[in-house]
Structure 1
Amino acid sequence: MLQHKVQTLTGSYSSEDVVFLLKDLSEASLEKSLDERELAIQSGVHYSEMLPVEYEPTEDYLKLFYESLDTYKRKVAVAVGTVSELLIEKRGKNIVLVSLARAGTPIGILMKRYIELVYEINAPHYSVSIIRGRGIDENAILYIVSQHPDKQIVFVDGWTGKGAISKELTQSAVLFKEKYGIILDDELAVLADPGYCSSLFGTREDFLIPSACLNSTVSGLVSRTVLNSRWINETDFHGAKVYWELREKDVSNHHIDVITAEFNAVAPFIVEAKALLKETDRTPTWKGLQTISSIQEQYGVEDTNLIKPGVGETTRVLLRRVPWKILVQDLNDPRLKHIFQLAKERNVPVEVFEQMSYTCCGLIKPLEKDK
C-alpha cells in the first residue's frame, strides 16, 4: 500500500523529531500577495491552491517571539506534559503521533520529546496536511497505516480557534472509514483549547503560544500546505515548500530545545495540572463557536474566515493582515500587553467584548472596505 511513497520534503528539523509526509514544491511559483490571494479566494479559488508571500521575519516578529518564549516557556512545557500524560492514559503507549502541518508540527515534536523523556518510548512522529474544505491527506494516512499497522494514530495540533480543523478531521475520518474500512480516532490532542473543541488538551487558557508569532521560521522552514492539481496528482502527498533562503532567521530548533529544557523542572506542575483536569468536565462544548456567532451578529461580519479568535490568531492578524478591529475581554489583561502595543503601532481600534471564551479576537477588514 503506497510503499513507493518515500520521497518527501525535509525541513530544518531533524528526522529524529519529525518526518514530513509532504511533496516538495520548493521549485514551484505559488506565492501571491495578500490582495491577489483575497481576490482569488473571493472569485472561488481555494486558498490551498496558492501560498501567501513568506517574508523574512521583521524585528517586531522576532522580538515578540523571543519575549513570548521567555515568558511562556514553562507554561508551554507544563501544557505539553499535561496533554501528553492525558493522551498516554487514554490511548496507551502504542501510538503514532501525526501532527497537522504546520501549526501542529512543533507541538507534535515537543510531545514526542516529552513522551521519550518520561516513558522512554520513541513514538513515531509524522506531519501531514489537512485542508479546510478538502480534508486530510489520505495518501499520507494510508502510508502511516502501512508502516505502523499495529499502532494507534493520534492527531496533534497547536491550538483550537473556531474548531474548523476539528470538524474537518471528523469528516475526514468518516470518509476514510467508508473508503478504506479503517477507523481513525478523530479526537485532536492540542496544546491549548480555548475553543472548547477537544477533551485532550494541556490547557484551555488563551495565551500567546510562542510558535504562533512566526511562520516557516518556527516550523522547520516549511510553508503552509498546498493542494493544487497542477503540481499534485492523485498518488502524491499534499505539497509544501521549504524556504531555505530564510535559514539565517530559523529558530525552529531553538524553540523546541528551550521548551524541552524545562520538562524536568516543571514535572510537579504537570502532575498537579493533570490531576486538576481529571477532576474537570472536559467534554467539548464548542463554546468558541457561540462567541463567533455573537461577534457576527454584533459586528455584521458575514464571513467567519474574517474572524480570528484567540491571542495567537489575533497576533497574526496584527502582524500580517489588514485588521479592522481588535476585540478584548479585558483592557487590563497583562497577557495582552503585546496586542495593545501592536494595535497602537498600527492604529487599529481596540474594543471591549466581554461575552467570549477567548481573551481577544481579531477582525479582518472585508475586501470591499479597503476600496
Structure 2
Amino acid sequence: MKSTLQPDRMGSYAQEDVIFLLRDIGNVFLEMANEKREQLIQAGTHYSEMLPVEYHPSKTYMNLFYKTLDASANKIAIAVGVVAERIIKSRGLDNLILVSLARAGTPIGILIKRYISMNYKVDVPHYSISILRGRGFDEAAIRYILSQHPQGCLQFIDGWTGKGAITKELIHSCQKFNGHYQAQLNADLAVLADPGHCATIYGTREDFLIPSACLNSTVSGLVSRTVLNLQFMDEHDFHGAKYYKELEDIDVSNLYIDRIVACFKQVQSEIISQLQDEATSLITWAGMKSVQNIQLDFDKDNINLIKPGVGETTRVLLRRIPWKILINPQYMDELEHILLLAHEKNVIIEEYSHMSYACCGLIKEL
C-alpha cells in the first residue's frame, strides 16, 4: 500500500515514543470560546471543524493533578501492564504496531510501548492518529502505517470508554477500510479503563480518574484536539492539529510518562495476579444502559449531550457548557478535581446512583 505523504513533526514527546500522523495547522486560528462553540455544535457544525480555547489550569488545580498522580501512579501502572499483556496475548509481538487515538490514547500508547520495551526488550512502533465521531479514522494515516509496515498487525489504543461512540466509530472505519483496500484491520480497541463495558482488551473496568484526563494538551504532548475542516484542508491529507509551543513551560506530558514508568517494576506481582483472575472480556454495553436511564430521568432528547465517566465528565467541564454534573455517591471521595472544576464554573452537582459510572456530565441545551 503506497503513501507519498509525510507527517509534520509534532508534539513534545520524543520521536522514539510516538510519531503523530498529523498535519500542523498552527497557522490557522480556530479557537472559539466554549459558549460560541457549543452553539455551533448544537446547531449542527461538526466539533472537529473548530477548537476549544485551551484551559489554563489554576495553581490549585495543578496541585490536585500532582496529588492525584501520586495517589494513582501504581494503579495506572498495573492497568497499563494488564492491558499490555492482554494485547500481547491477543496479537503477539512479531508484527505488532501500536496505533493510539489522539489525543487521550497517546500517553496510554506510550506507556504500553515503554512497558513492552522494559519487559520484553522489543521496540514496538507506535503512531498516533485522528479519529472523529461521525467521520471515522484518518485513512491517510492508516495507509501511511501500512506502507511503512506491510505485514503490520495494528492494535488501536484509547484512554478510556464512555458510551462507546468511538468504539463503534472504529468498528465502522475498519469495516469500510477493509472493504475498500482488501485489508484486515482488527477493530478490537484496547483501553486503560473500560467503564462502558464495550472494549475487549482493557486494564480495568473501574471508572477511576486517569490523571491524563485532568488536563488537555499539557499532558498529551502539547497537541490540540484533531481537526478536519475542508475549508482549508485537503481531504486526502492527514487530519490536522496544532502544537501549542507557547505552553512548554507548563507541559507535564513527559513527567506523567516517567512517573508511571517508574512504578512498573514494583507492581509486577499485582499485574500477574490480575491477569490470573482472568476477567471476562464480555462486551455488555452496560454503560450505554446507564446512559439510557439518565436520558429518561433527565428528559434529554440528544444522547450526545450525556457524557458518562470520569474522563468524559472532566472534558465537559473543561471545554463544553455544562448544565449539571451527576455524581454517584459511593465515589464522592475520589472526585475532588470534578468538584473543584464544578465549583470554579458554578455548575450544579447532583447525587445520582442509577448508573455504572462514578459521575456523568450533562451538557446544557442552548
TM-score band, normalised by the shorter chain? over 0.9
- Contact (CA 8 Å) 1:116, 1:122: kept in 2 or not? yes
**Which consecutive aligned stretches of 4+ in structure 1 deviate over 6 angstroms post-superposition?**
none
Question: In the alignment, what sits opposite 2:39?
Answer: 39
- Contact (CA 8 Å) 2:7, 2:238: kept in 1 or not? no
Question: In the alignment, what sits opposite 1:101?
Answer: 102
Measured in 2, the distance between the counterparts of 1:192 and 1:202 equals 6
Query: Per the alignment, do residues 24 and 262 of structure 1 end up closer, same or farther by CA in structure 2, a change over 3 Å counting?
Result: same
Measured in 1, the distance between the counterparts of 2:342 and 2:151 equals 50
Letter in 2 for 1:362: G
Measured in 1, the distance between the counterparts of 2:340 and 2:34 equals 23
1:199 Cα offset (Å)? 1.6
Which stretches in structure 2 are left out of the alignment for 5+ residues? Answer: none
Question: In the alignment, what sits opposite 1:289?
Answer: 288
Measured in 1, the distance between the counterparts of 2:70 and 2:107 equals 17
Question: In the alignment, what sits opposite 1:179?
Answer: 180
- The total of aligned residue pairs comes to 365
1:320 Cα offset (Å)? 4.2
Residues 77-156 of structure 1: pairs in structure 2 closer than 5 A: 77-94=77-94, 95-156=96-157
TM-superposition CA deviations, 1:102-146 (whole Å, max 9, x none): 000000000000000001110000000000000000010011011
Measured in 2, the distance between the counterparts of 1:204 and 1:5 equals 38
- Contact (CA 8 Å) 1:194, 1:288: kept in 2 or not? yes
1:7 Cα offset (Å)? 3.5
Measured in 1, the distance between the counterparts of 2:71 and 2:149 equals 38
Query: Per the alignment, do residues 220 and 186 of structure 1 end up closer, same or farther by CA in structure 2, a change over 3 Å counting?
Result: same
1:342 Cα offset (Å)? 4.0
- Contact (CA 8 Å) 1:318, 1:342: kept in 2 or not? yes
Percent of aligned pairs with the same residue?
56
- Contact (CA 8 Å) 1:2, 1:139: kept in 2 or not? no
Letter in 1 for 2:355: M
Letter in 2 for 1:201: Y
1:355 Cα offset (Å)? 2.0
Measured in 1, the distance between the counterparts of 2:10 and 2:344 equals 37
SS in 2 for 1:109: helix
Letter in 2 for 1:19: I
Measured in 1, the distance between the counterparts of 2:60 and 2:46 equals 30
TM-superposition CA deviations, 1:335-367 (whole Å, max 9, x none): 123334444454433322222110111112211
- Contact (CA 8 Å) 2:38, 2:320: kept in 1 or not? no
- Contact (CA 8 Å) 1:64, 1:213: kept in 2 or not? no
- Contact (CA 8 Å) 2:31, 2:50: kept in 1 or not? yes
Question: In the alignment, what sits opposite 1:240?
Answer: 241
Query: Per the alignment, do residues 332 and 248 of structure 1 end up closer, same or farther by CA in structure 2, a change over 3 Å counting?
Result: closer
TM-superposition CA deviations, 1:146-175 (whole Å, max 9, x none): 111112000000000010000000000110
Query: Per the alignment, do residues 319 and 223 of structure 1 end up closer, same or farther by CA in structure 2, a change over 3 Å counting?
Result: closer
Letter in 1 for 2:324: K
Letter in 2 for 1:305: N
Query: Per the alignment, do residues 226 and 345 of structure 1 end up closer, same or farther by CA in structure 2, a change over 3 Å counting?
Result: closer
Residues 299-318 of structure 1: pairs in structure 2 closer than 5 A: 299-318=298-317
Query: Per the alignment, do residues 344 and 23 of structure 1 end up closer, same or farther by CA in structure 2, a change over 3 Å counting?
Result: closer
Measured in 2, the distance between the counterparts of 1:30 and 1:316 equals 19
Query: Per the alignment, do residues 342 and 48 of structure 1 end up closer, same or farther by CA in structure 2, a change over 3 Å counting?
Result: closer
Letter in 1 for 2:9: L
Question: In the alignment, what sits opposite 1:330?
Answer: 329
1:235 Cα offset (Å)? 2.5
- Contact (CA 8 Å) 2:61, 2:340: kept in 1 or not? no
Query: Per the alignment, do residues 177 and 197 of structure 1 end up closer, same or farther by CA in structure 2, a change over 3 Å counting?
Result: same
Query: Per the alignment, do residues 130 and 259 of structure 1 end up closer, same or farther by CA in structure 2, a change over 3 Å counting?
Result: same
Q: TM-score, normalised by structure 1?
A: 0.94
Measured in 2, the distance between the counterparts of 1:352 and 1:257 equals 36
Question: In the alignment, what sits opposite 2:266?
Answer: 265
Measured in 1, the distance between the counterparts of 2:316 and 2:152 equals 38
- Contact (CA 8 Å) 1:193, 1:201: kept in 2 or not? yes
SS in 2 for 1:225: coil
Question: In the alignment, what sits opposite 2:197?
Answer: 196
Query: Per the alignment, do residues 60 and 308 of structure 1 end up closer, same or farther by CA in structure 2, a change over 3 Å counting?
Result: farther
Which stretches in structure 1 are left out of the alignment for 5+ residues? Answer: none
- Contact (CA 8 Å) 1:57, 1:249: kept in 2 or not? no
Q: TM-score, normalised by structure 2?
A: 0.96
